[in-house]
Every structure is written in C-alpha cells, then in structure tokens.
Structure 1
Amino acid sequence: MSGLRYVYAVCRPFGAPLQAQLTGVAGAPAKLLHHHGLIAVVSDVPVRDFAEEPLHAHLEDLDWLSATARGHQQVIDALTAVTTPLPLRLATVFRDDSGVRVMIEEREDDFRRTLDRLQGRVEWGVKVYVEPQAEAAESAEPAEPAKPASGRDYLRRRRMQARAQDDTWQRAERFAGRLHSLLSEHADAARLHAPQNSALSRASGQNVLNAAYLVPRSDSEEFVEIVDRTKGQEPGMRVELTGPWAAYSFVDFEAEQAGEHEKAGEHQEAGEREKDSVEGGS
C-alpha cells in the first residue's frame, strides 16, 4: 500500500479555486474527491506514520502533533476562504478512496443537515483573562510591618488577601457573563468551552471565558466591532478575539465521528481541537 487517505473536511461543490500549490499534512497536496454531490478534501499520507500503531505513538509526540495540526489547519483555512467546510477531526484516515466514499454514503444525511446549518457562517472565538497584574494588585498585602505582631494579625492579613482575590474573580465573572450574553445576542449560536489551562496555553493571566460564536459572514464585521468596544472596559481584564474559523464548535457530534467504522482506515483522533493547536492555545 502506497499510502492512506487523510480527510480534512466535507463540503459542497464550490466554484472558486483553492490557493495554488496548497499543501497539508506531511507536506502533501490537498485534493478534492467528489461523491454523491459532496466533496471530501483529502491528501495522501504515509502508512509508516498514520497506520494505527505508529499513529498512536505519534500522538504522544507534541512536536509531531503540532506540525500535523498546522498542516491540517492550513487546508481548513484555505477552504474557509472559498466555501463552508464541515471540518473533521485531526488524523481522520482511511485505507483508500473507496473507504472515503463509503464514509460519505453512510453519513450523507448528517453531512447535508450540518452543512445547511453552517452555510454562510463562521466561528469566532472570544476569551477573557484576568491580567496577572490585576490579581497581584488586589491580593497585595497592605502597607504594614513586615512581620505581623501576632498570630491574629497574620490571620487577618490572610483573610484580607482572600477577600481581595474573591472580589477580583467575582468582578471577572460578572464581566465575562455580561460579555457572553451580549455576544450571544449577535450570533446564531454560542458554545462555552472549559477555561484554558494557562500552563498549557502559555497565555498570561487566568482564563475566565472561553467561548465560540457562530456568526453569519455578512454580520462578522459588526460582531468584531462589538468585541473591540468591550476591550478596556473593565480594568485588569483582557479580551481576545480569534477567527474567523471553520465552525469546529458547531459540528454535530455524529457527523464529526464520520470515519469510525475503519481503523487506519478508521477515524483517528488527536484529542485537542486543531485550531487551538494552531493558535498556540491563545
């Protein structure tokens, strides 16, 4: 066997050409496989890396995983510029084109329903962080003697610090809640994700809002302006906007699992959403 078929996304036929010399995972060119009025965007990948056993080993290699995620996202970004793709998970592979066609036939109704729902829409990501200096300022000890006069004084200081930190988080949660409500009113759908671990994302501050919003392309400029107006509204809070992305957060679970009937061959997962790997967890 010369290679396996890596599947990036499923979409409807589109008129605009993909960018010239578009390459994806393992540096392979992306190709369009037409079947039943749908398109699977695929490329060839080597068996030595993407068969079941070596793939499981590679998923423990963060450098390999990051490079694969970048190649995957490069193709998804190119598709998002010309059409509405239904992105599949990282490392979705099949033995050959026949396996991809079977996948399309088995999930054709799911794919069409999801593409109808996503048509003309993109995903925007919004995160809110409590800046490190805000936490430090509100938890700093008051100007008192370096050593507490008694155990009672020490406990009082600790209680004051705890209350200050609680106040910061309550203020952050109120701000994040207001922002999420506002943005949800200007989106067709919204998803709340778990706050990101700062040690993994390498972003400064503590993440208190990690949300995705499904927005019509035609309304995206207004959505971005709304987010921009919120930046700097709340001292010590940082608002970050990313996108536009393919609508990863709004793909039906069943449709996202489309390849699970075949191993190496079978739908393979890499755990994290591809775009977060490319963002560097931002």
Structure 2
Amino acid sequence: MNSVPRPAQTPAPTVEYVGSRATYVFAVCRSDHPGFLPSTRGHPGGGPPRLLTVGSLCAVVQDVPAAEFSEAALRERLGDAAELERCARAHHGVVTAVAGGGPTVPMPLATLYLGDERVRTAVAEHAERFRLALERVAGRAEWAIKVHLTQAGTVARPAAPGTGETSGPGPGPRRVSGRDYLDRLRSRQHLREQHRESALAASEQVDDAVRRLAVAAVARRPHGSEVTGKDRTQIMNTAYLIAEERSEELTATIGRLRASEEFDGVEIDVSGPWAPYSFTDGGDLAGHP
C-alpha cells in the first residue's frame, strides 16, 4: 500500500480542553463543495465527519473525545509508530474523500479547536489565504516521485589478502596479494561512484521531464535506509503538482524513462494522485494561476 504523503505544514493550534469534546479539522474547501463519501468515518470514537460553513468556505470537521486528543494524550499516541499510522490513515482517508469532490486544502494531522466557533474564527481570519490556495490547486493533484539506486549497481566484496579467491595458470587457487586486494577495492569503489553519478544524472532526467508537466514542485530530503531498505539508496524524493488531465502524459513519461538503458540499476517509484498536501500554503505556488 502506498504510504500517506506528508501533511501540509500549517501550524496546528495549541488546545487546552475544558469540555468532553473537541473539534478536529481535516481540511478546508469551498462552501459549494458537493460533500464526501458518507462511509468516511474519520477517527474512531468520534462523530461522523461533517461540513462547517464559514462564508464562502467550509471546514471539514469531526467531534472527537477531548481526553483522547489532549496535548499529552496526542504526544503519547503519536509517539507510537502503530498508533501514528492509524491516526494518519484516518486523517488521510477523510482528506482523500473530500479532495475527490473538488479543490481541497488539507490541514496537518491533529489540528484541533475547542469548538465550532473557534474553527469558524480561525478559518475566517485566513479566508483569503484559503481561497488563493483553493484556486491554485483546482483541477490539479499531487504526485510523489522517488528515484533509487539499487543493489544491482554494486559488485561483490573482494576477498581478503592471502585467501584463495581466483585460479591461476597452475593447479589450485592463487593467493590474493595485498596489492591485488587494494586494487580491487579501488576498482569496486570507482564502480560504485560511477553508478551513483549515473543514478544522480538519471534523477535529473526524471526531474526535468516531470517539471515540464507540473506547475510546481517541492524537493524533499531523501529517506534513509531505515525507510528504503539496505538494498536501495534514495537519490530523489520530490512532490509535483500536475493538472489532472496530464496524468496519462506522466505515466507515459515515466514508462519511457524506465525503459531507457541509462536507468539500469535505477528504480523510479511513483505514487498518486494525492490531495495537494505539499502545495496549499503558497510557497512554490506563488505566481501560478
């Protein structure tokens, strides 16, 4: 299953609960939004997700148990990997359902307020920003593209000096000298460096090709081996905002690149379309219609 993309980086409010319920905010959309799938449940233990109208905008909210979403409770829950995954998927499920019906500004995970009136006040204060963001992402979706250098580009570790690794012209294995060993180490290191340079060049080809289709892009720090696995090194990790009607062009472009001989030992991972998590706070979208 594809991983959930990083939420938008809007700061979530600090909440001090005085009642038994809090208002959780998933996203902001236009007031004429057709709604979302009635089967969308949101967070367990909460009420059904609903639309809260604020002028020409709507906040997608859910009533949740305050005790389970207090600052201390969230710190403990989100510190557990399994619980973080459950919360992220619940949040993403609602955002995805809403984005399927029209332009949507996803809110960060765990955006909470004391009640509906606090939500209305916050949305009204940032109404112009939300309207601009909704205009910018209308008819567009986020795609995540990652490029990896794979184990196919490496070679086996050379034998240590003095061990019988190769056969000479006479009977029996030939002993490897210290000089042979160092030469082989240097050769393998050179091959690894060459392959990494080729992978970096390949990632630049991917980025150049996809940027021709995109209206905006956000480059992120590549993930380490704890995410990618020890047999893959992530070279590129970039999100692109692409018009919905160009998705087939994107698929064809990636297919052409994957088939190129230059991509031997290089993998391209594509996921999407996503709600525009990376493109709803202005930033790289500035100046785009």
- Is TM > 0.5 for Structure 1 vs Structure 2? yes
User: SS in structure 1 opposite 2:60?
Assistant: strand
Measured after TM superposition, the shift of residue 169 of structure 1 is 0.3
Structure possessing the higher relative contact order (Cα contacts under 8 Å, 6 or more residues apart): 1
Q: Distance in 2 between matches of 1:147 and 1:6?
A: 71
> Which moved further from structure 2: 14-23 or 177-186?
14-23
Gaps in structure 2 of 5+ consecutive residues: 1-18, 160-164, 168-172, 284-289
Deviation at 1:105, TM superposition (A): 1.6
Is the partner of 1:25 in helix, strand or coil? Answer: coil
| 1:152 equivalent in structure 2 | 179
Which residue is 1:102 aligned to?
121
One-letter code of the match for 1:23? R
Q: Which residue of 2 aligns with 1:167?
A: 194
Instruction: Give distance in 1, aligned partners of 2:107 and 2:231.
Output: 30
Question: Aligned letter for 1:211?
Answer: T
Assess if the C-alpha contact under 8 Å between 2:31 and 2:55 holds in 1.
no
Aligned match of 1:22 in 33, 40, 56?
Answer: 40
Query: Residue 245 in 1 paired to residue 254 in 2?
Result: no
Kindly tell me the number of residue pairs found equivalent between the two proteins: 252
User: Greater strand percent: which structure?
Assistant: 2
Give the TM-score taking structure 2 as reference length. 0.81
CA distance in structure 2 between the aligned counterparts of 1:148 and 1:45, rounded to whole angstroms: 71
- Contact kept in structure 2, 1:14 and 1:82, CA below 8 Å: no
Report the Cα distance in structure 2 between the residues aligned to 1:148 and 1:195, rounded to whole angstroms: 42
Q: 1:164 deviation in Å?
A: 0.9
| Equivalence for 2:78 | 59
Greater helix proportion: 1
Instruction: State the match for 2:235 in structure 1.
Output: 208
- Helix, strand or coil at the partner of 2:227: helix
Question: Does the 8 Å CA contact 1:122/1:246 hold for their aligned counterparts?
Answer: yes
Query: What letter corresponds to residue 184 of structure 1 in structure 2?
Result: R
- After the TM superposition, which residues 50-199 of structure 1 pair with which residues of structure 2 at under 5 Å, given as runs? 50-132=69-151, 134-137=152-155, 141=158, 144=166, 149-199=176-226
Q: Secondary structure at the match of 1:252?
A: coil
Distance change (3 Å), C-alpha of 1:93 and 1:18: same
| Counterpart pick for 2:257 among 224, 230, 236 | 230
Does the 8 Å CA contact 1:187/1:215 hold for their aligned counterparts?
yes
Say which one has the larger Rg: 2
The two structures have a TM-score, normalised by structure 1, of 0.82
Alpha-carbon separation, structure 1, partners of 2:34 and 2:126? 25
Cα RMSD over matched residues?
2.2
C-alpha spacing 1:163/1:70, structure 2 compared with 1 (3 Å): same
Q: Distance in 2 between the 1:42 and 1:188 partners?
A: 30
Structure 1 distance, partners of 2:25, 2:230, is 31
Taking structure 1 as reference, are residues 46 and 18 closer, same or farther at Cα in structure 2, changes over 3 Å only?
Answer: same
- SS of 1:212 mapped into structure 2: strand
Amino acid at match of 1:220: S
Check whether the contact 1:72–1:90 (CA below 8 A) recurs between aligned residues: yes
| Residue 13 (1) aligns with residue 42 (2) | no
**Contact between 1:232 and 1:238, CA under 8 Å: does it hold in 2?**
no
Q: Distance in 2 between matches of 1:100 and 1:161?
A: 59
Q: Which amino acid aligns with 2:277?
A: Y
Q: 2:158, 2:181 within 8 Å by CA — same for their partners in 1?
A: no
Residue 22 of structure 2 corresponds to: 4
Paired with 2:80 and 2:209, the residues of 1 have a C-alpha distance of 40
Identity of aligned residues (%): 32
Amino acid at match of 1:208: I
Quick one: distance in 2 between partners of 1:203 and 1:216?
35
